[in-house]
Amino acid sequence: MSRFEKQNTSSLKVKYSFQLRELDKACQGFKPTVRVIDEISGLREVCDRLKGSKEIAVDCEGVDLGRDGKLTLIQLMAGEDTVILIDVLVLGESAFKYGLKEILESKEIVKLMFDCRNDSVSLWYEYGVKVTNVLDMQLLEYMVRAQAGHQFPSARRSTHWHKPRVRGLDATTDKYVRFDDKLSIGISDVRRVKERATVLMRAEKTVWRYRPLTEGFVRYAALDVVMINVVKKALARYKSLEGNTLKKLEIASERYVSARRDCERIDDFYVSHPILICYIIPEEIGGIIQPFPYEGSKCSGCKRMLTSSCMRNGKCGDCREVERRNGPNRR
Ligand SMILES: [Zn+2]
pTM for this structure? 0.89
pLDDT of 5 reads 67
pLDDT tens-digit map of 229-280:
999 999 999 989 999 999 999 999 998 998 888 876 655 666 667 677 667 8
Pairing verdict, β 55-63 and 70-77: antiparallel
Residue 161 CB partners (closer than 8 Å, separation 6+): 153, 275, 278, 317, 318, 320, 321
Greater confidence (230 vs 166) lies with 230
CA of 306 to the centre of ligand 1 (A): 8
285-308: pLDDT as tens digits:
899 998 876 667 888 887 877 778
- 257: CA distance to ligand 1 center in Å? 17
DSSP 8-state symbol, 95:
G
The rounded Å distance from CA 120 to ligand 1 centre is 21
Q: Which of left, alpha, beta for 271 (phi over 0: left; psi -120 to 50: alpha)?
A: alpha
User: What's the gap in Å between 209 CA and the centre of ligand 1?
Assistant: 35
The domain locations on the chain are: 7-250
Please count the other Cβ atoms lying within 10 Å of the Cβ belonging to residue 23. 25
Containing 305, the helix (H) or strand (E) segment is: strand 305-306
CA of 122 to the centre of ligand 1 (A): 23
Cα(189) to ligand 1 centroid in Å equals: 40
CB atoms within 10 A of CB 211: 16
Ligand 1 centre distance from Cα of residue 317 (Å): 7
**Fold classification of 7-250 (topology level):** Nucleotidyltransferase; domain 5 (3.30.420)
SS3 142: helix
Strand partners of residue 292: none
The alpha carbon of 318 and the centre of ligand 1 are apart by a number of angstroms equal to 6
- Find the helix or strand (DSSP H, E) in which 210 lies: strand 210-211
Give, in degrees to the nearest 5, the angle at Cα 239 between 176 and 157.
Answer: 85
Cα 142 to averaged position of ligand 1 atoms, centre (Å): 20
Ligand 1 centroid–CA 274 distance in Å is 14
Contacts for 252 with CB less than 8 Å, ≥ 6 apart:
136, 139, 143, 280, 281, 282
Find the 154 Cα to ligand 1 centroid distance in Å: 20
Cα(57)–Cα(136) distance, rounded to whole angstroms?
10
Distance from the CA of 151 to the center of ligand 1, in angstroms? 18
Determine the pLDDT at residue 9. Answer: 86
Residue 304's pLDDT is what? 77
